[in-house]
Amino acid sequence: MAENRDDKQVAVVTDPRDAEKDINSLRGVLSSRLVTSRTGEILEMHVVASADRHPKQILRDIESTFLAKRGIKIDRRKVSIAQLREESRQEVPSNPGAVSQPRLRFVRLTTTHTPDGGEVHVTLGRGNLQGFGEAQFPLSSGPDRAIAEATVRAVERFIRAGRFDVISVENRAVGRHQGLFVHLEFLTRGQSVPLLGSALVQREVQITTLNATMDAVNRFVGSLPPADGVEWVVGPEGSTAS
């Protein structure tokens, strides 16, 4: 539905997951994620689509669906559409003829809690090198997203260019089990490559989040030119997830 606030009409959804199902049913859409405020206002709409339709066509379908079913007029400025295609990886800077790099390995994950929230430290390794990443999380939320963010910060130590954005971290039912899904985007030179990783939820949920993030990036990172001539930062000694 649409609400008027301060003489401006805003798009409000009562069930974001149901709205995502409507988006996912559209031709060419592979997945979607709505970011809403506490009152249900749509703040961001992220869509991953195939390359067989123009993004403007997909956007028009989304607008028509929301207007017809929910009476909502979508603000185009809040919609992000990433297209997944085979050429995407070829467009990312690569090292022609180079052998794929060894996979990154998990070294350490530590979580420190504070009165305001907490901090996550992740250490990854490749050969004799180790890369360190960190992220903070507020008291109002758990550490899952921060674990994904700290993991990709550590991954970025091993690549020459580009960065990862964490789009979403979701826990969903997979048959009789629970699965954790991490949606990332790799950004470099004005290009965006969507990545999705998953892992079945284990007893150590924090390790599951890290595993899902690594599932999204590991094979992809192996095809990128490795960092060289940089100062490698190694995280502090510590135990595993706490």
Write the DSSP symbol of residue 98. P
Tokens standing for residue 116? 């305001």
Bridge partners (DSSP) listed for residue 47:
32, 81
Is 53 exposed, middle or buried (CB count within 10 Å of its CB: 0-12, 13-18, 19+)?
middle
Residue 4 confidence (pLDDT) above 80: no
Residue 89 confidence (pLDDT) above 70: no
Do residues 70 and 1 make contact, with C-beta atoms less than 8 angstroms apart?
A: yes
With b for 16 or more beta-carbon neighbours within 10 A and e for fewer, the 87-98 pattern comes to ebeeebeeeeee
Bridge partners (DSSP) listed for residue 134:
121
Tens-digit pLDDT profile for residues 110-161 = 999 988 899 999 999 888 788 889 999 998 888 999 999 999 999 998 888 8
Domains, the chain, ordered by start: 2-85 (3.30.300), 105-221 (3.30.160.270)
Tokens standing for residue 32? 């979607």
Do residues 133 and 150 make contact, with C-beta atoms less than 8 angstroms apart?
A: yes
Work out the angle at residue 52's Cα, subtended by the Cα atoms of residues 48 and 57, and round it to the nearest 5 degrees. 75
**Average pLDDT of the residues of the chain:** 80
